[in-house]
Chain A
Amino acid sequence: MVATKMEKPAADLLTSPGVSSLFKSLKLKTKQQELLIRVAILCLVYVLAFITRLFSVLRYESMIHEFDPYFNYRVTQYLTRNGFYEFWNWFDSESWYPLGRIVGGTLYPGLMVTAAFIYWTLRFLSFAVHIREVCVLTAPFFASNTTIVAYFFGKELWDSGAGLVAAVLIAICPGYISRSVAGSYDNEGVAIFALLLTFYLFVKAVNTGSLAWALASAFGYFYMVSAWGGYVFIINLIPLYVIVLLIRFVGFQHVQSGEHMAAMGVFFLMQLPPIVAYMKAGIGRREWLLPVQINLLSGFLVVSLFASLPCLLKNFSEVSHSVINMPSISTLVQVFYFLDWVKFLLNDPKKFHTFLRITVTSAVALGAIALGVGTASGFISPWTGRFYSLLDPTYAKDHIPIIASVSEHQPTAWSSFMFDFHILLFLFPAGLYFCFKRLSDATIFIVMYGLTSMYFAGVMVRLILVATPAVCLISAIAVSATIKNLTQLVRAKSKPAPVGSGKGTTSTKAPSKGYYGKVLAGFILVWSQKLVSEFSAKPLKLDLENGFNGLLTSPFVGKINTKQVNEDRSISEKNENTSINMDNKGSLDQSPPFQKNGAIALLFGAFFLLSRYVIHCTWVTSEAYSSPSIVLAARGAHGNRVIFDDYREAYFWLRQNTPPDAKVMSWWDYGYQITAMGNRTVIVDNNTWNNTHIATVGRAMSSYEDEAYEIMRSLDVDYVLVVFGGVTGYSSDDINKFLWMVRIGGGVFPVIKEPDYLVNGEYRVDKGAAPKMLNCLMYKLSYYRFGELTTEYGKPPGYDRARGVEIGNKDIKLEHLEEAFTTSNWIRKMIHRGSIHRSGLGMAARKTTGDTTQEAFDFKQLLNQDGWSNLLQFALHYNCNATTNFCGVLL
């Protein structure tokens, strides 16, 4: 009754002539409607990208995660407290004792300056936020911004539909979320934004030929350089791209090159200051660098100067390669022009060839000599290990244990790809296919970006991150193009479907482009066909049952279709088609009713796949990537949540109850956290710049107690912190990392030999362990008084739950050290068989004040334990990087 009463006046209102005319005038035009929908979707995606990253804040608290972010947080605090100039000149004496670290000169300040800028802006607008909140939310905020950039990039590459899909895909892609959840306050958080922005602006510049976009791109690049070491990817990719374009244009179509080169020019000029800087650094005078630069490169190069400033801060060995790389390729570009010009002058092919031979030979010879002399004199420093390991994944394993020991530097497993990309992994080749079908400057770029970054992602787990935007964009093209075709089929009904998709800008260049497309696409097709048959059985089966071959227009199936058609028909005939729609129409005219049904079915298939993607992403984010790794949660016996907070317990104890000038020795993983949370000086930390120093710590840990004591005395160590998981079964504790300490220590000090700690090549801690192992410092500290403890029912005392053995040395006496503090939790009764826990054992040494003649050290012990949830174990099982990260230095 009530409802009808309510409806009537409303209906009256609408039907009355005056109102309806008003309603009509307010009604939006189709274009406006489209704009409204687009803006609404973008806004929703923007919000979605932000809130999906807040799992950790809701589930735990607003806190900084992992290892590196703690350093960044500490630096940001310093920056906001002391201002920019103090920060620039900051010499941090709290790390790398007694060496210290020039922080202002050895980090990428982009992230910290960004966060501080946001903080200051908010403060200026009188929002009384804490700097921690800003730091925690920086990464989600930039992830949201990345979605907007992805939209514009997708629009530039394909059309606005692809842009929207790209924005959605990247907003929730686990590969990106892994490094940008709230609290993950790391360089990558802003760097991916900067990377994508730079690429977008660059592509925009290439497409428009506008200097303004090129300049904007330069600024984007400047920001990227200031934020992350991954910028080397940009400066190597862009020249590569230019070469490809050059080959295309010089080789086939002479005409357009000049226009494109204008965009490049800005980019190349930007590289000049780094070269100058590099040369200056070679001379060894950094102080007068800036004024000289300003004098040398006035005017336009002011921009370049900005871009170079961050480079100046880096250690030059890393920059040098990229710097050398860059101009060499840019000169190559010049050489092309030069050759062209000479060819024009000489007018005779024979003469030209002679000229070419002589110049090339002499240039190669000169280059070789220069390189030889440069390397010998040390002017060109050798490549760093991480670069080698990028080209040869096995390099680090054999030569640099400190790189190999970091889990995120491991080669990527297939499961990681599946975990981080899900359906994008299959959409990626499909998208590549579409890109090749409509080859333009922009799509060439994204294809190159995708392929190179995919290679790097395969080499190192952490570089999945760099590949993520490309994968999302290319997949978005696949999704968008497919759905567009399908919906056109659905809507077409009896009238002929509209030809082509939106922009037909590239059709004029089609013939030459199509050829490359075919070659590569054929390559990918074989692979994707296999993938399709394996993974997306459902839509395929559906189609086969319906029995119409030609209508396979799903993202995967579409390729099979074209492949078959390719085999049948001549290549040139097919090249003209820019959309699958055309193919289908050609071959499927005979069965129009099925065509529509099939399209609907495939639409549902696509919808199903995409919704699976959303579910997967949410699940991964919630279960695997939102754990702070400082605090661990587990389920108790009654399903209640148990929090294990032993890390912070130990750090806070250090902070409150040790002398302010105490020096703490621990393995480098915990260095940043100790300085940030414990506020105490550490010997080594996660900025692994000095291998010898780390090796010294490794040596101390793997020596006998009295030898270790001498080393510790020489390093002024007061406390030793050890993480131990034997009580609760946490597997990534110091005993399990111990072999790396031995290896790294042994790499510098040959006294330490790995075989001494192994029995028949086997690493054991029980009775059968090597005698040196049973008596080294790490073993003694970890298992001190552990022999008295019953950890599990029905097991003998001293049963190590992390390794599942009874320890070999139960009667440990410490001569020079004493237990200072051990964290709680492990004896709580809520530990039951099902849940896995971990514990840590820390040691600390303290100077006794009584006897002044003999400096005695009492070492103390910390028992540190944490729970380790089943969920995280699952994540580990999937070999996902975020939970096992020990973030080393940046690339």
Chain B
Amino acid sequence: MLCLLKRFFLLFQIENIGNAPASEVLLAFSPTQFDHLALVKAASVVGKKKKKSYVPLEVNPTERPVAPNGTKYYAISLLKALEKGEVATLEIFYSLTHTLEPFPVEISQSESQLVYYHDSAIILSPYHIQQQATLFKTPSNKVESFTRVEPTDRAGTELKYGPYEGRSPFSYSPVIIHFENNNPFAVVEELEREIEVSHWGSVQVTEHYKLAHAGARHKGVFSRVEYQSRPSASGVSSFKHLVAELPPRVHSVYYRDNIGNISSSRLRTNSKKSELLIEPRYPLFGGWKATFVIGYGVPLQDFLFESATGARYLNYSFGCPLANTVVDKLTIKVVLPEGSKNPSAQVPFTVEQSFETKYSYLDVIGRTVVVLEKRNVVPEHNIPFQVHYNFNPVFMLAEPLMLASVFFLFFITCLAYLHIDVSIRK
């Protein structure tokens, strides 16, 4: 379970009861859910029990004329059209951010955090549902209350609604679950990652974080005595450290903010991955914020490749390196070396793309920057994306040559000054 992030696994068995063969299946979301939707994935299940395998399917948002209460749709394209009477099994995964609402809204240091979760017992769907059951998992046994839509059953951390049978399209049955959740509600409100490619052998990554504790706001006194002497009873919903997963072979890692270096961080590296344990300057209680910067360098050959056509491409992971966090707004800026041409980005999901120019050390014409923007980014987005561009290695020599010629000119001037007499009187 995560902060504010809900993950859903839907298991569908669909049957085409219409006449025409169906090549698409629609998924319906309410407008609020749609806004917080981070990711939708679908796979069709092929084979039975032991030989079961998953074939990923394409999912795209679509518009439909029939949309009561502003329902939004995603269309899943099936591998092959479903004939009348045929049955297929689909597995759908989607995650929503910011679905948990803390209640009470403000808590003091000694209280633990309770949240509301709103959903429907019956899934919103444009189709007729023959049978459905919904299962919710809560992070702890402490459930204050929940809406009963019979049959409802609660066992430990599981809450089961259904099975319900024979529901008409667009039926909705709201449920509210009020439960304890002391997981860190770490939300990165804004994250800007700058990936600077240098063909001299390094990729430099700088990440600007705006972190907030999005849980129930802290109220009243913050007592250090309480916090440090009774850690189990005081400030249970607060958190004091986070883990960032960085690529292997990472070097020159730093962790700082506007007013300087933050000394409380630890880096563990091995051949698979590097883990950076960061501790903000102070523990984060509900509503408290922290901004910081993480920067590191990685070897160029791990991330830059040459395609068959001779173009280069950078292959880097999208998403936020902090484990278990939600990013509200992510901006990735890929700074290509000066003189690179025809940049284009390939991202496996929809992002906003734009270009800008950046001037760094000794730049004359500036470096092309590919800007990618996305809202609601979750850990599932940590998949590679590519930026293709053309680059002539001669440009690598431009800056050293420039420096060399400046020094050369300087020495020449010195020489000239020493040998030429410029005084008027003899």
Contact = CB atoms under 8 A, between A and B. Distances in A.
- Interface range on chain A: under 10, 10 to 19, 20 to 34, or 35 or more? 20 to 34
A651 B259 contact: yes
B360 A819 contact: no
B263 A822 contact: no
B220 interface: yes
A840 to B, nearest CB: 11
B224 A823 contact: yes
A657 B361 CA distance: 36
Contacts of B262: 645
A824 interface: yes
Interface in A101-117: none
Given A818-B220, A822-B223, A63 B260 contact: yes
A457 interface: no
A673 to B, nearest CB: 9
Nearest to A653: B282
A863 B260 CA distance: 21
Interface string A775-815: 00000000001001100000000000000000000000000
Given A649-B282, A653-B282, A61 B222 contact: no
Given A649-B282, A653-B281, A785 B261 contact: no
B281 A126 contact: no
Given A652-B282, A788-B225, A657 B259 contact: no
Contact of B263 (A645, A821, A827): A645
Contacts of B364: 126
B289 A657 contact: yes
**Among B222, B228, B256, residue most surrounded by chain A Cβ atoms (within 10 Å):** B222
Nearest to B399: A126
A127 B406 CA distance: 14
A126 B282 contact: no
B257 interface: yes
A391 to B, nearest CB: 41
A126 B225 CA distance: 51
A127 B399 CA distance: 12
B224 A822 contact: yes
Contact of B289 (A656, A789, A861): A656
- Interface range on chain B: under 10, 10 to 19, 20 to 34, or 35 or more? 20 to 34
B202 interface: no
A385 to B, nearest CB: 34
Interface in B205-235: 220-225, 228-229
A822 B361 contact: no
Contacts of B225: 785, 788-789, 822
Contacts of B281: 645, 648-649, 652-653
A180 B252 CA distance: 28
B290 interface: yes
A837 interface: no
Contacts of A818: 220-221
A126 B223 contact: no
A451 interface: no
A653 B290 CA distance: 8
Contacts of B224: 819, 822-824, 863
B372 to A, nearest CB: 22
Nearest to B290: A656
B146 to A, nearest CB: 32
Nearest to B259: A677
A609 interface: no
Nearest to A786: B225
A621 B224 CA distance: 37
A643 interface: yes
A860 B287 CA distance: 17
A785 B259 CA distance: 30
Contacts of A649: 281-282
A276 B302 CA distance: 70
A860 B260 contact: no
Interface string A289-317: 00000000000000000000000000000
A836 interface: no
Contacts of A63: 260-261
A845 to B, nearest CB: 12
B291 interface: yes
B111 interface: no
Contacts of A645: 262-264, 281
Contact of A819 (B222, B229, B256, B362): B222
Interface string B249-274: 00000001111111110000000000
A720 interface: no
Nearest to B257: A652
Interface string A643-662: 10100110111011100000
B286 to A, nearest CB: 11
B296 interface: no
A77 to B, nearest CB: 11
Interface string A57-81: 0001101000000000000000000
A283 interface: no
Given A653-B282, A677-B259, A822-B222, A827 B289 contact: no
A820 interface: yes
A648 B259 contact: yes
A827 B281 CA distance: 16
A138 to B, nearest CB: 17
Contacts of A128: 359-361
B223 A824 contact: no
Interface in B271-313: 281-282, 287-291
A818 B221 CA distance: 6
Nearest to B212: A656
B363 interface: yes
A643 B223 CA distance: 23
Interface in A651-698: 651-653, 655-657, 677
A643 B260 CA distance: 13
Interface in A828-867: 858, 860-861, 863
A818 B289 CA distance: 21
B282 A827 contact: no
Nearest to A676: B259
B223 A61 contact: no
B222 A860 contact: yes
Contact of A821 (B222, B228, B264): B222
Nearest to B254: A61
B102 to A, nearest CB: 17
15 contacts: A63-B261, A126-B361, A127-B362, A128-B361, A648-B259, A648-B260, A653-B281, A656-B289, A657-B287, A657-B288, A657-B289, A819-B223, A820-B221, A822-B225, A860-B222
Interface of A: 60-61, 63, 126-128, 630-631, 643, 645, 648-649, 651-653, 655-657, 677, 785, 788-789, 818-824, 827, 858, 860-861, 863
Closest CB pairs A-B (n = 8): A822-B224, A643-B263, A61-B261, A827-B228, A649-B281, A677-B259, A63-B260, A656-B289
Interface of B: 220-225, 228-229, 256-264, 281-282, 287-291, 359-364
Given A677-B259, A821-B222, A822-B225, 7 more contacts: A60-B261, A61-B261, A656-B289, A785-B223, A788-B225, A818-B220, A820-B222
